[in-house]
Structure 1
Amino acid sequence: MVETIVLGFDGSEASVIALDWVAERAARPRTAVEIVMIGGTLLEDDRDIGLLDAERRLLDRAPEAEVSSHRFPGRMPAALIERARNADLLVIGARRGMPLWSALSGWMPLRLTSGSGGPVVVVPDDWEPATGRVVVGVDDDRSSVEAVSFAAREADSAHVPLTLVHTWTMPTPRMEGAVVLLASPIEARAGERRILRDAAVAAQLTNSELVVEQILEQSSPASALLRAAFGASLVVVGTHHRGVIDGALLGSVGRDLLAECRTPVCVVPGADRAVR
């Protein structure tokens, strides 16, 4: 089965770095890449030199890949989302430290990841190749089910370990009559450990020999994921149908990751939002 990747490209430094990330991935067998520019006007007798150069750069690095390039009318992010509707993966570049504006003019990474029906990888402009583990954030509801499944397949394909990261905080004390009931830290941690263990079992359905590491921390999700991302090849997070800004795991976490993480971040929609 051929994996299809759509790369949002505008010739900027960040989009070229994203192209290089795609080229590394396209070195895998049976990969098709479409390089897409949105907007602008192309005359009949005017070859788009930027797109042709991008094709050549990608083919130099992944000569076995199927590569094409096209310019489409429309506005970001809707036009790019529509073009990637049937793709397995949408990839864009972004300037790290300026998470609200990507290399693609007038587009915000959070808007694109919240609107896409499929996985979106945001590659920071200071990315450097790495062959380390795949890291995935595990939530306490179904928002991370698809993310864990995607991350497990990624780790299996790349022949690297998978690291599951789950964070927790002590439950808020509750009142029963005039008595304040405090949760047991031991019981609370045991419950969170079960969530992580169930995710590990689900991940190994992809391949029983997949090496799975489990990290459970009493801290913020963003901090734990950023620590785990050091030396990793990809960080994967899930999102609800409500979108990145309102999701339980994303929102401020997503903004923090895009602003601070030097590792590419993949946002995977839940099953209720996936479009195929």
Structure 2
Amino acid sequence: MQFPIVVGVDGSEGSLRALDWAAAEAARSQHPLRVVHASLWERYEGRLPTFDTERPAEQILAEHLVASAQERAQRLHAEVDVVADVRPEDPVKALVRESHEAALVVLGSRGRGRIAGMLLGSVSLALAGRSHCPVVVIPATTPGAPPKQGRVVVGIGDAERPTAAARFALDQAVSRHGELIAVRAWRCPAHEAADHPLLSGSPASAHRQRAEDHLEDVLAVLDRTSSEAAVHRSVEQGPVHQILIEAATGAELLVVGARRSDGHHGLHLGAVNHAVLHYAPCPVAVVPDTR
């Protein structure tokens, strides 16, 4: 059974961007596409007008919305198998449930109603922290220049072996016939002195060398899984979120990981993931660590 790519729609411009991206991804990866509208989205982010009809106004608009979205996706990519569904429940709960049997869940970064002006919608943020499959959040605006075709950027953290995010990023680069940019950020604590007993040479040089060695160790394992995409290394000094956002300029996709923590409800997104979800110039995939 091939899991579908699920896209959440709410009639906003952001959800149309998400729909178009998801349809193109489904066509490229040969996955079916499932268009979902949770009918309580409007109550979640603002109220609907009422109409004098036998059926609730929410139901009428929801059915029209998903039918229009399904038609749009099929018009853009006739080869994709597209189904649409209205779910009478809270959007986050509905899409978390969808994520159990989905290849990806795709959303726009902004919703409708009272939170439309925010950088990141409440549904997108909540889903990114609770999904059981990768979540791709599409930014509200397109970059000034088109991205380099097939370029995928992934952040490499402290894990000793490739994470689910690193493997997902490599798969994306391979399927796009493109390249993977593996980014490792490092910083030198201000309190460290050059004569620290565990450091040889300057502290900065030692930290950079450790970052380079760690990246090589991770990629040595990751590269064994595929030789069909060029893998480039990027080791930069500075805040992780800033390095990743800068690296994402000109990319088709930025991939970050999220881990499950003991005593933590859902995934631990952390400050870095919050920052890239708000400010990255390209779509961001948040991949749960399945280990």
When the two structures are superposed, what TM-score results if normalisation uses the length of structure 2?
0.80
Give the whole-Å Cα distance in 2 for the aligned partners of 1:141 and 1:173.
Answer: 25
Structure 2 alignment gaps of length 5 or more: 41-55, 111-115
Report SS of the residue matched to 1:69: strand
Aligned counterpart, 1:230: 249
Aligned counterpart, 2:10: 10
CA contact (8 A) 2:245 2:281 kept: no
TM-fit CA distance, 1:112: 1.1
Report SS of the residue matched to 1:222: helix
TM-fit CA distance, 1:154: 0.3
TM-fit CA distance, 1:42: 7.9
TM-fit CA distance, 1:16: 0.4
**Could you tell which deviates more after superposition, 236-245 or 18-27?**
236-245
Give the whole-Å Cα distance in 1 for the aligned partners of 2:238 and 2:173.
Answer: 25
Report SS of the residue matched to 2:249: coil
For 2:8, the aligned partner's letter is G
The question of 1:154 aligning with 2:166 is answered: no
The question of 1:60 aligning with 2:75 is answered: yes
Give the whole-Å Cα distance in 2 for the aligned partners of 1:97 and 1:168.
Answer: 34
TM-fit CA distance, 1:39: 2.2
Runs of 4 or more consecutive aligned structure 1 residues displaced over 4 Å after TM superposition: 40-47, 171-175, 179-182, 243-247
Equivalent position to 1:256, from 275, 278, 281: 275
Give the whole-Å Cα distance in 2 for the aligned partners of 1:151 and 1:185.
Answer: 29
Give the whole-Å Cα distance in 1 for the aligned partners of 2:179 and 2:265.
Answer: 27
CA contact (8 A) 1:17 1:127 kept: no
Cα-Cα RMSD: 3.0
CA contact (8 A) 2:129 2:267 kept: no
Measured at CA, do residues 195 and 166 of structure 1 come closer, stay the same or move farther in structure 2, by a change above 3 Å?
Answer: same
- Please give the per-residue CA displacement for 1:172-218, whole angstroms capped at 9, x wherever unaligned: 7579xxx9657443332222112211232233233224200100011
Give the whole-Å Cα distance in 2 for the aligned partners of 1:45 and 1:180.
Answer: 69
Report SS of the residue matched to 1:116: coil
Give the whole-Å Cα distance in 2 for the aligned partners of 1:240 and 1:136.
Answer: 15
Give the whole-Å Cα distance in 2 for the aligned partners of 1:97 and 1:44.
Answer: 25
Aligned residue runs from structure 1 range 211-250, under 5 A: 211-242=230-261, 247=268, 250=269
- Please give the per-residue CA displacement for 1:103-156, whole angstroms capped at 9, x wherever unaligned: xxxx34332111111100000121366424100000012696110000000000
Aligned counterpart, 1:104: none
CA contact (8 A) 2:124 2:137 kept: yes
Measured at CA, do residues 127 and 21 of structure 1 come closer, stay the same or move farther in structure 2, by a change above 3 Å?
Answer: farther
Aligned counterpart, 2:95: 80
Aligned counterpart, 1:139: 157
CA contact (8 A) 1:127 1:264 kept: no
TM-fit CA distance, 1:268: 0.4
CA contact (8 A) 1:97 1:260 kept: no
Structure 1 alignment gaps of length 5 or more: 102-106
Identity %: 33
When the two structures are superposed, what TM-score results if normalisation uses the length of structure 1?
0.84
Report SS of the residue matched to 2:225: coil
Report SS of the residue matched to 2:210: helix
CA contact (8 A) 2:179 2:232 kept: yes
CA contact (8 A) 2:180 2:229 kept: yes
TM-fit CA distance, 1:161: 0.4
CA contact (8 A) 1:142 1:270 kept: no
